[in-house]
Amino acid sequence: MLSLLKSLKLNKIGRIALSSLLAVAVLCSTLSMITLIPVSAVSIWDGGKTEPTKGSGAQADPYEISNGAELAYVITSGGGANTYYEITEDIYLNDIDKVNWATGEAAAGYTPNTWYGDWQVTAFQGTIFGNGHTINGIYYEKEPQKQYTNYYGGVGLFSKAANLTVKDLAVDNS
């Protein structure tokens, strides 16, 4: 490319300008190949529970969690000591565009899926490998009979935990 620029007999400023223009063109063509996935194109948890079907739970063969239903099953079952889990996809528990995460208010017509409080689960045990994935949209609503006592209990991805190890997992829009 340098010989091409010299053959055009451009001065130094012209060569720099042309090189910059070519670099921008290459960058733009590369960016046009990147596909952004809108939230509406991802699978959003329907509130159900499904037992993971891949993996044995051993460190060398962890249970694979690829969606909200599998995550809900694992969290509410309590896991198990010396049991291993692996997140294989980013997981969306709610449509993150339909909840104001600063206030907890949902858009008109949208009812968020409520995640589990500590009164609904046993203490989770085990190791979860996040593999750089993100759990999005954890939404919590106080249990109706406890909302008058100011009891919030444990809330979060793991509302109760014992002997828990989490590696390389993010929580966002929650």
Helix (H, G, I), strand (E, B) or coil at 65: strand
Task: Report pLDDT digits (tens) over 32-83.
Answer: 444 444 555 689 999 999 999 999 999 999 999 999 999 989 988 888 889 9
How long, in residues, is the chain?
174
| Selection from 13-22, 65-74, 150-159 with the highest mean pLDDT | 65-74
What are the angstrom distances between the C-alpha of 64 and each of 54, 81, 98? 5, 17, 28
The residue ranking higher by pLDDT, 91 or 41, is 91
- Nearest in space to 115 (alpha carbons), one of 168, 74, 150: 74
| Selection from 39-43, 154-158, 159-163 with the highest mean pLDDT | 159-163
CA distance 52 to 74: 8
Band (pLDDT 50/70/90 cuts) for residue 13 is low
- What is the overall mean pLDDT for the chain? 76
Quick one: average pLDDT of 96-123? 82
Quick one: average pLDDT of 134-159? 64
Instruction: Write the DSSP assignment of 104-138 as a string of letters.
Output: TEEPTT--PPP---GGGSPPEEEEEE-TT-EEE--
The sheet that has 124-129: what strands, in order across it?
A: 63-65, 79-87, 124-129, 161-167
**H or E element at residue 172:** strand 170-172
